Structure 1
Amino acid sequence: MRIAYPIIWDAYSSSGVLAKVENQARIWSERGHEVRVFVVTPPCDGPLCIDESMTTPIIRPFNLFRKFLYLNKISSALSVGMLERHIWKFHPDVIYQRTPLWQSGLLSRLPGIAPYILELNTIAQNERQLLSRDGVFQTFKERLLLGGAAGIVSVSEEISKHYFSGSVPMKVVANGFLVTRFEPRPPPKNKRPQLIFVGSPGMPWHGVDKVIILAEKLPDWDFHLVGPGPSDIALGNLTNVYAYGYLQQSQIGNLYQRMDVGIGTLALHRNNMNEASPLKVREYVAFGLPVISGYHDTDLSGCNFYLNIGNTENNVTKQEDKIRAFVAYWKGRAIDRTKVLERVDSDAKETRRLEFMAKVMDRNRKASVIK
């Protein structure tokens, strides 16, 4: 298959999403498929943080002036036009897109290029309500995109059930991680427990505020925050919280070597969801860290190295004793690498994804013949 993979993302800053896209494209290429990633990105003088041999960067014009509404709209229109032309030149058999391309100028054109498969990573309507974004217009565009899709891949059963209509083929493939590319860190011998949270500021469902509550309750533990910086959180007089802001992947990897436990999403209930498969949690276990989270994980629930403290507002205070016991048990111990490989490694997941793409293409061809 010739697979076009368009995304709108900053291709010059390392991130879990960009790493996932690159890993998917690499595995598909290794399976004999021709893959091209088309990244609409703001300009930058630095190197791409994704394999250049499989990537076409599409520089978004006027990025420095994005705060000006009309220039931003012109920039979006130009970007969509360039993206469409690049995809047409590639002549794909199928288009796979992780990040929804809401721009209306492209919505009606994608099916004319090739059947497209949409990957859903969240229930977008819930996020918009939580972040106070324009829900009505965005929901209308979302329905247009879903309605034109030849197939849908969701990263959890919950998302699949929310969007399932019966008219479009759907497959659940939870987020994976190339576990074999990373060696698990040797369990450190820390005197004080060291816990790490990797996320983004401004995302209420991540529950960074709950990490701060834990730090207040557990002054003998140290908490390391990657993503949120000192200006994003109120630390007060806390001396056991280290907020680094965004770091490069190599810097995060170095931090993992010293950590005892990873902290996942703690407030998914704020997004009216209960199930997820976050990339950061897969990265934690790939590096050998046990995990504390507050949701049902599509792959990891049931593993003894994954503690679900419940998806409620008071979970960290209500489950403080369980958290203490979990950290005490895993401090200085290694998690089961075999289980990590079985449950989250990308290899088997991408096999299922490619099989689904092939079925969708076959279904689309048969439908075209009937017409």
Structure 2
Amino acid sequence: MNIAYVSIVPPNRLGAFYKVNNQMDTWRKLGHLCTPFFITETKGPNCYRLWKRGKALNPQLRLLFALYRQNPDVIYMRENHVSIFFQLLLLFFAKRIVLEINGNSVIETALDASVSIKKRFYHLLMRVLQPRSISRVLGCVCVTRELHQGVVVASQQNSIISPNSVPLKKDRVQKSGRSGHPCRLLFLGSPKHSWHGVDKLVALAKGLGGLFHIHVVGPSLHEARLDADICPTNMTFHGYLEKEQIEQLVPQMDIGIGSCALHRKDMYEACPLKVRDYLAYGLPLLLPYLDTAFVESAPDWVLTLPNVEDVFNSSANVESVRRFCENFQGIVLSDDDIAEYVDSHLLEESKLKVISSWVNDAKQA
């Protein structure tokens, strides 16, 4: 297929940028023509500037003409229902667009709707445009079953569930498989995301005690809104680290911790990229939520805990974490262990076969 990948890439969304590039690389290796169209302030080939206030013409009109010239079979993009550019895309290319659904925009905008009239209006606009947009496109790819049931299924017949994935490179960094104390748990997060639940890790660290050490990458102590006086000595906040710096930590880590408070935005299932990275690093998983990859059944190297506010205030849950860490500290997960859950070659190939069938059906209609 001839695929145009349209992506809005803010400078602070490096994870999304990493995912987009990995997807395109995989699609090309599978024999598809894939051209990126980045909407960003960064200058470069295939980059199109954002529309700023005061400019009479939208610079993204150039992108529309570029798409017209390329004449792709599929325009693949993450959902962005409110933008004028997306509504123009729907006008000209509706039955070529495949939307990737990574969140429930109606619920997420509702969280801030009371902050200002502008945000309230944005939420109301999203409630109108989301189902309308989804019903008009060629199809939708949902990264979780929860999103499929809650966002897409009522509006779009062409839809699949395809969790996030990562390439399993042969030369990638992995944990060393060390033994001994302290057992080190790695948490990758971001500032200003309350649903990551960094604050909950304080109770876990205190409950586990000095033979365990939690390393938090992403938010600093200040950004996590935690007082240094209440944080135990077996917690270390590294702040923001580049990927190369994270990989310097990985060999000394033993267990990966997923998001701890998805319930704060009414989510109970997810498939975050950081958890796929943990698996690629060979780290067994501590998950206080349901991961899409393990809905049917979870391997013994995954510990799933309740997605509730007081999850680590429970002595029984903390004891489960302790036993899990002791059992899997020295285990390095292999490609054979994880490929069916996260390997981008396997998962993206399956997804593109379905999208190709949508394209063929649309051409015959």
Interval of TM-score (by shorter of Structure 1 and Structure 2) = 0.7 to 0.9
The SS at the match of 1:232 is: coil
2-structure distance, mates of 1:337, 1:13:
31
Supply the AA of the counterpart residue of 1:4. A
Q: Structure 2 vs 1, CA of residues 101 and 251 (structure 1 numbering), >3 Å: closer, same or farther?
A: farther
1-structure distance, mates of 2:156, 2:40:
33
RMSD over aligned Cα atoms: 2.4
Q: Aligned runs of 1:216-235 on 2, under 5 Å?
A: 216-220=206-210, 221-233=212-224, 234-235=226-227
**Is 1:86 matched with 2:55?**
no
**Partner residue, 1:365:** 363
**Partner residue, 2:184:** 194
1-structure distance, mates of 2:46, 2:323:
49
**Partner residue, 2:92:** 112
**Partner residue, 1:2:** 2
**Is 1:159 matched with 2:147?**
yes
1-structure distance, mates of 2:13, 2:107:
27
**Is 1:315 matched with 2:311?**
yes
Supply the AA of the counterpart residue of 1:201. P
The SS at the match of 1:109 is: helix
The SS at the match of 1:213 is: helix
Cα shift at 1:167: 4.2
The SS at the match of 1:161 is: helix
Supply the AA of the counterpart residue of 2:67. I
Stretch deviating more after TM superposition (331-340 or 206-215) = 331-340
1-structure distance, mates of 2:156, 2:251:
47
Aligned structure 1 segments of 4 or more residues deviating by more than 6 angstroms: none
Q: What is the aligned residue count?
A: 347
2-structure distance, mates of 1:147, 1:102:
15
**Partner residue, 1:350:** 348
Cα shift at 1:355: 0.9
Supply the AA of the counterpart residue of 1:210. K
**Partner residue, 1:38:** 37
Q: TM-score, normalised by structure 1?
A: 0.86
The SS at the match of 2:58 is: helix
Choose which of 115, 124, 141 in structure 2 pairs with 1:136.
124
**Partner residue, 1:52:** none
Choose which of 148, 154, 161 in structure 2 pairs with 1:172.
161
**Partner residue, 1:67:** none
**Partner residue, 1:298:** 292
2-structure distance, mates of 1:158, 1:32:
31
Q: Structure 2 vs 1, CA of residues 188 and 83 (structure 1 numbering), >3 Å: closer, same or farther?
A: farther
Give CA-to-partner distance per residue, 1:318-371, whole Å, 9 cap, x none.
Answer: 21111111111112222354120122111111111111221111121122xxxx
1-structure distance, mates of 2:155, 2:126:
22
**Partner residue, 2:116:** none
Determine if contact 1:267/1:313 at 8 Å carries over to the other structure.
Answer: yes
Give CA-to-partner distance per residue, 1:163-219, whole Å, 9 cap, x none.
Answer: 202643111111111123525322134521211111212222211111222233334
2-structure distance, mates of 1:30, 1:275:
30
Cα shift at 1:287: 0.4
Q: TM-score, normalised by structure 2?
A: 0.87
**Is 1:272 matched with 2:263?**
no
2-structure distance, mates of 1:353, 1:59:
30
Determine if contact 2:139/2:156 at 8 Å carries over to the other structure.
Answer: no
Choose which of 333, 336, 346 in structure 2 pairs with 1:335.
333
In structure 1, the gaps of 5 or more residues are 49-54, 63-69
Cα shift at 1:101: 5.4
Choose which of 198, 202, 205 in structure 1 pairs with 2:195.
205
**Partner residue, 1:51:** none
**Partner residue, 2:279:** 285
2-structure distance, mates of 1:254, 1:292:
21
What is the identity percentage for the equivalent residue pairs of Structure 1 and Structure 2? 28
2-structure distance, mates of 1:209, 1:124:
25
1-structure distance, mates of 2:47, 2:238:
29
